[in-house]
């Protein structure tokens, strides 16, 4: 009998349960060494407690709080897809004591799909660090007469009627990534949004949905063990599902997408504070503790600093704005 697959809850629990390990030392510029917070620090997680972002927030708060001389307190500000938490940080004093553990949902996708925002996702934040990346996996219904990515794409191109594909909601990563693939490969697909991955996966296994993109943790936590995973959106094969080829290997040139996590502060935060936080979070990111827990959450460390992360934000915004433009998405 095959071993049971871990559930998403078990993955999160195991990520929290690992013991603390020593963090490596890093060389910090003098300006960063001279700056230190003079009061407890808020690390705003724009989601409710218990999810993967909350796990990461508490992990980093524990790690960096020990070296900056102040408590780093995780503040969960859920609601509106994370926009409420992002707004709180955008409006905070730019003194280095308020940070946001951000995702594309708050900083690029919301604006790309035309949501009315109480902040500018580029101008109102100072990028600090690109923390991690998690690709999504493309899965096909088990009843489809295809064996691999090439077969699935060819079937979708030639389909006389649109094939239904699932997403975890209108305007989400999984929706826009599929629409980007659809446009690039000229696929005949029809969007069917769901509220989360569980119901969509059930309908896919029953053959009511032809295909979908889903996060790697959802694939790892699916209890059925019968998912037909045909590709992942990382540039190279992803360690958690190393047997699965990338979409690039499958013939979709330069197709890469990531559910990323990053660290930002309010615009105007002193450069010395930005550099200190970059150094502190990078040191934590380089530890075995964080790497192990990221792996349990289906993510890998990135570590790009402020300039590269800022460039990613701009490129991400441009990409998803282009993808969303013909979709006429209305969220407000």
Per-residue pLDDT, 26: 47
Per-residue pLDDT, 209: 96
Greater confidence (6 vs 307) lies with 307
Tens-digit pLDDT profile for residues 2-38: 333 444 444 444 444 444 444 444 444 555 568 999 9
Asked if residue 62 lies in contact with residue 289, where contact means CB atoms within 8 angstroms, the answer is: no
Using a 10 angstrom Cβ sphere, with 0-12 exposed, 13-18 middle and 19 or more buried, the burial of residue 286 is: middle
Question: How does DSSP assign 87-104, residue by residue?
Answer: HHHHTS-SSSSEEEEEEH
Per-residue pLDDT, 326: 92
Q: What's the pLDDT band for 331 if we cut at 50, 70, 90?
A: low
Cite the DSSP H helix spans in the chain: 8-17, 30-34, 52-68, 83-90, 104, 110-112, 149-158, 173-185, 197-205, 216-221, 271-285, 288-296, 306-324
pLDDT at 320 over 90: yes
Beta bridge partners of 166: 192, 212
**Phi and psi at residue 240, in whole multiples of 5°?**
-70, -25
Q: Which helix (H) or strand (E) holds 75?
A: strand 72-76
Q: Count Cβ atoms below 10 Å from residue 259 Cβ, excluding itself.
A: 23
pLDDT at 291 over 70: yes
**Alpha carbons 73 and 57: distance in angstroms, whole number:** 9
User: Tokens at residue 68, please?
Assistant: 């900056």
**Alpha carbons 244 and 183: distance in angstroms, whole number:** 23
**Phi and psi at residue 312, in whole multiples of 5°?**
-60, -45
Average pLDDT over all residues of the chain: 88
Q: What's the pLDDT band for 328 if we cut at 50, 70, 90?
A: confident
Classify 309 as helix, strand or coil. Answer: helix
Q: Which domains occur in the chain, in start order? A: 41-134+259-327 (3.40.190.150), 136-241 (3.40.190.10)
Tens-digit pLDDT profile for residues 112-122: 999 999 999 99
**Alpha carbons 302 and 127: distance in angstroms, whole number:** 14
Using a 10 angstrom Cβ sphere, with 0-12 exposed, 13-18 middle and 19 or more buried, the burial of residue 138 is: buried
- Closest to 131 in 3D by CA, of 315, 293, 328, 327: 293
pLDDT at 210 over 60: yes
Per-residue pLDDT, 298: 85
pLDDT average, residue stretch 84-93: 97
Tens-digit pLDDT profile for residues 122-170: 999 999 999 999 999 999 999 999 989 999 999 999 999 999 999 999 9
Per-residue pLDDT, 7: 46
């Amino acid at each position: 009998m095959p071993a049971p697959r871990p559930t998403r809850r078990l993955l999160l629990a195991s990520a929290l349960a690992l013991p603390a390990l020593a963090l490596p030392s890093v060389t910090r510029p003098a300006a960063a060494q001279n700056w230190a917070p003079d009061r407890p620090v808020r690390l705003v997680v724009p989601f409710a407690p218990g999810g993967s972002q909350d796990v990461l927030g508490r992990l980093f708060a524990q790690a960096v709080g020990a070296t900056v001389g102040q408590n780093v307190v995780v503040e969960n500000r859920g609601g509106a897809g994370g926009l409420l938490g992002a707004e709180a940080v955008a409006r905070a004093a730019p003194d280095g004591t308020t940070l946001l553990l951000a995702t594309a949902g708050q900083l690029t996708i919301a604006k790309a799909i035309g949501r009315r925002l109480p902040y500018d996702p580029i101008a109102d934040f100072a990028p600090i660090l690109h923390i991690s990346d998690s690709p999504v996996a493309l899965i096909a219904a088990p009843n489809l007469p295809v064996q691999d990515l090439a077969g699935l794409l060819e079937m979708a191109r030639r389909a006389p009627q649109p094939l239904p594909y699932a997403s975890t909601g209108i305007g989400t990563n999984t929706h826009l990534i599929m629409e980007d693939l659809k446009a690039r490969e000229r696929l005949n697909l029809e969007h069917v949004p769901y509220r989360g991955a569980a119901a969509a996966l059930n309908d896919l296994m029953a053959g009511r949905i032809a295909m979908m993109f889903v996060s790697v943790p959802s694939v790892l936590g699916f209890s059925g063990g019968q998912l037909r995973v045909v590709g992942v959106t990382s540039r190279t094969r992803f360690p958690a599902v190393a047997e699965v080829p990338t979409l690039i290997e499958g013939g979709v040139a330069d197709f890469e997408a990531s559910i990323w996590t990053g660290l930002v502060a309010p615009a105007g935060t002193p450069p010395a504070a930005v550099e200190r936080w970059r150094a502190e979070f990078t040191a934590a990111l380089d530890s075995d503790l964080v790497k192990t827990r990221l792996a349990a959450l289906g993510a890998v460390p990135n570590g790009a600093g402020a300039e590269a992360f800022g460039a990613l934000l701009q490129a991400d915004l441009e990409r998803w704005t282009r993808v969303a433009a013909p979709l006429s998405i209305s969220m407000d």
